[in-house]
Amino acid sequence: MEALESRPRRRFLNYFLGSSLGAVVVSFLYPVIRFASPPLIPEATTNQVEAGDTSDPLLMTKGFKIVRFGAEPVILLKVTDTEYRAFSATCTHLDCIVGYQKERTRIFCNCHGGAYDLNGRNVSGPPPRPLTAYKVNLLAKGSEPAKIVVSKA
Ligand code: FES
């Protein structure tokens, strides 16, 4: 009689402990598997990205824009109507994202006041190295605005 009463209780305990153990194992394995598998960033393997065209409102007004080059942010500068430059947008000091001060014609990092010239050279503040340069090509097609292609230098 006693054995019959304890069977459902035992089954419940086995089920409960088994599923709890399963949940613990999954909670440990999931982050390990996610950490070990590489993220899916399709542009990460490419050597060039299309960064819009020369009529881009950001380039026309602010003189720059930040574009993604795989996982890397790149700052694209409009130096003149026909000259564009691109550099890594990651400050070489502590990895903040840089911006462009059009009125002072310099690349500036707001985090600690670092500044770079339009060749990407660190000219003041704490950045220890220049910004990595990228190559910019303009692909003109008739009277349409030229496409801007940024590639590794
Ligand atoms: S992170 Fe740019 S100056 Fe410090």
For residue 122, give the H/E element and its range.
strand 122-124
pLDDT of amino acid 71? 85
| Domain boundaries along the sequence of the chain | 1-37, 42-152
Give the residue from 65, 132, 67 showing the smallest Cα distance to 95: 132
Q: State pLDDT tens for residues 109-124.
A: 999 999 999 999 999 9
Residue 46 structure tokens? 């490419």
Decide: residue 62, CB within 10 A, 0-12 exposed, 13-18 middle, 19+ buried. middle
Ligand 1: residues with CB < 6 A are 91, 93-94, 96, 109, 111-112, 114, 125-127
Rounded Cα–Cα distance for residues 26 and 17 (Å)? 14
For residue 148, give the H/E element and its range.
strand 144-152
Closest ligand 1 atom number to CA of residue 126: 3
pLDDT of amino acid 44? 53
pLDDT beneath 50: ranges in the chain: none
CB 109 within 8 A of CB 91: yes
Rounded Cα–Cα distance for residues 19 and 16 (Å)? 5
Residue having the nearest C-alpha atom to atom 1 of ligand 1: 94
Architecture of domain 42-152: 3-layer Sandwich (2.102)
pLDDT of amino acid 149? 95
